[in-house]
Amino acid sequence: MSERIRPLIAGNWKMNGTSAALNEISRLRELIAEARRIAADILVCPPATLVHRAAQIAQGDAIALGGQDCHASRSGAYTGDISAEMLSDAGARYVILGHSERRAGHGETSAEVRAKAEAALAAGLVPVVCVGETETERAEGYANAVVGDQVTESLPDFAADAEIVVAYEPVWAIGTGKTPTIDDIAQMHRHIRQLLVDRFGAAGESARILYGGSVKPSNAGEILSTPNVNGALVGGASLKADDFFGIISAA
Ligand code: PEP
């Protein structure tokens, strides 16, 4: 069943891009308009400062916009933070949560990611919840256990009509040019699918599981045709519209 899920190709610009980068949204729009058929949903998550203007340039449904994090509370004395409602108000439809750079750099726990995901759902955003093991955890044979715990603890219960996306991103594959073997990707996505189905039933069967970590136009075709891989979360290769479109085309 999951093979028929429409893929989601999501770009994570991280802390890259000022106003000039909005040209990449215009270029992406052009490439999409010129294409005969687009077989994937497309999401760009720029820095929060660009979400509103990017949404205005994207105009319409072809390119969805997303945030890269949100606070678990709706509002309050949280200097420097941004709420899910604010992202939604700026034009976002998705929000990346629990990226390994936030888990490592900001000490985010799975419980915090779950609270943020609850806030995102309450604001009408689709949470893209990231999970993934470190190189040492894989080498020591704990990859399944670590990812399994993250999936279980980071995902909130959600209503049948809501949507949640899981992104499997091995930490050691992010920004390194290294990728797991296709067999390893298939095995981990099968593992995540089983956890989702066991917990959420039909909603778990249809939830998208993205792969992230050094996806580029040259390896996207093979990765995206792996069972239970329902799209990609792309960092570096999403910064240039032409590269990102190469990955979209592979879907
Ligand atoms: C990411 O940061 O989510 C990511 C997958 O980065 P990259 O594609 O650059 O490895």
118 catalytic residue (yes or no): no
Atom of ligand 1 nearest to the CA of 234: 8
CA-nearest of 27, 65, 72 to 47 is: 65
Q: Does 94 map to a domain?
A: yes
Q: Does 2 map to a domain?
A: no
Pocket of ligand 1 (CB under 6 A): 12, 169, 174-175, 212-215, 233-237
**E strand segments, the chain:** 8-12, 41-45, 63-67, 92-97, 126-131, 165-168, 208-212, 231-234
- The CATH code of the domain that includes 45 is 3.20.20.70
pLDDT, position 1:
41
- Domains identified in the chain, total number: 1
Q: Does 209 map to a domain?
A: yes
One DSSP character per residue, 54-90 reads HHHHH-SSSEEEEES--BSSSSSS-TT--BHHHHHHH
Q: Does 1 map to a domain?
A: no
Using only the alpha carbons of the chain, give its radius of gyration.
17
For residue 217, the enclosing domain spans 8-250
Q: Does 161 map to a domain?
A: yes
Question: What is d(CA 62, CA 26) in angstroms, rounded to the nearest whole number?
Answer: 12
The protein residue whose alpha carbon is closest to atom 2 in ligand 1 is: 235
CA-nearest of 70, 167, 78 to 116 is: 70
In this prediction the pTM is 0.97
pLDDT, position 161:
81
Q: Does 112 map to a domain?
A: yes
Ligand 1 pocket test, pick from 45, 96, 101, 233 with the greatest ligand atom count within 8 Å of Cβ, gives 233
- Distance from Cα 235 to the centre of ligand 1, integer Å: 3
Ligand 1 pocket test, pick from 68, 214, 224 with the greatest ligand atom count within 8 Å of Cβ, gives 214
169 catalytic residue (yes or no): yes
Atom of ligand 1 nearest to the CA of 167: 3
pLDDT, position 42:
98
Mean pLDDT for back-to-back runs of 10 residues, the chain (251 residues):
80 98 98 94 98 95 96 98 98 98 97 98 98 98 98 91 95 97 98 97 96 97 98 98 97 93
Q: Does 221 map to a domain?
A: yes
Q: Does 133 map to a domain?
A: yes
